[in-house]
Chains A and B, each alone.
Chain A
Amino acid sequence: NFMLTQPHSVSESPGKTVTISCTRSSGSIASNYVQWYQQRPGSSPTTMIYEDNQRPSGVPDRFSGSIDSSSNSASLTISGLKTEDEADYYCQSYDNSIPVVFGGGTKLTVL
């Protein structure tokens, strides 16, 4: 089984751009789609990115996803940071042996 490793926390100022990484421990990051979920305090998760870089309707284009095979990682980039973006973010993927794997989550602070 593989693991997805995220930084425990990141912080950035309003209006800036932040990138959250998600590194796959084994197997190719490009072999299986990566998803990103936002979880605000006291709320259930919502999807920000699916299939590596697709945004569900209603998610602003300030949110983007990408894959980097050289580092075997996925990234969530948030531009034009707003205080409302402050939340926990989780990546998620899968493979043939384990249908669902979540990263440990990253706490984004907008200060």
Chain B
Amino acid sequence: QVQLQESGPGLVKPSQTLSLTCTVSGGSISSGDYYWSWIRQPPGKGLEWIGYIYYSGSTYYNPSLTSRVTISLYTSRNQFSLKLSSVTAADTAVYYCARYYYDSNWFDPWGQGTLVTVSS
């Protein structure tokens, strides 16, 4: 059974870069059946897709965030990462990583999420 776990700093200063890692266990990140994804949820608000990466390294980002987002794959460690630059308080959110089915376009499973607060 595949499980995903987010890790990274819980506090980031404004204008700095947010960096998170998602560790995948119970399955290979090199499978062509899935995209590996990041989604976020500001406190009390809805879900926002950030982007995803395919095993080949191809990436797709939300147009509203594309200038600040980088998602990378580390196959030897079965991990993928998120970097979000020039953060502001509006980037404060719970960040989830999730597996996205390539052929039928749904997320499952999700990680437990990690709260990142942007504050000085």
Contacts and interface: CB of A to CB of B under 8 A. Distances in A.
Which of under 10, 10 to 19, 20 to 34, or 35 or more describes the interface residues of B?
Answer: 20 to 34
Given A47-B108, A50-B104, A105 B46 contact: yes
Residue among B47, B101, B104 with the highest chain A CB neighbour number at 10 A: B47
B47 A90 contact: yes
B104 A33 contact: yes
Contacts, number: 60
A94 B48 CA distance: 13
B106 A44 contact: no
A45 B101 CA distance: 15
Interface in B23-51: 37, 46-49
Contacts of B52: 99-100
Given A45-B47, A102-B48, A104-B46, A33 B105 contact: yes
Interface string A49-73: 0110000100000000000000000
Contacts of B55: none
A35 interface: yes
A45 B48 contact: no
Interface string A99-110: 111111100000
B49 A101 contact: yes
Contacts of B104: 33, 50-51
Contacts of B48: 102
Nearest to B100: A100
B105 A32 contact: yes
Interface in A35-51: 35, 37, 44-47, 50-51
B33 to A, nearest CB: 14
Interface of B: 37, 46-49, 52, 60, 62-63, 96, 100-101, 104-113
Given A50-B101, A102-B47, 8 more contacts: A47-B107, A90-B46, A93-B105, A98-B63, A100-B49, A100-B100, A101-B49, A105-B47
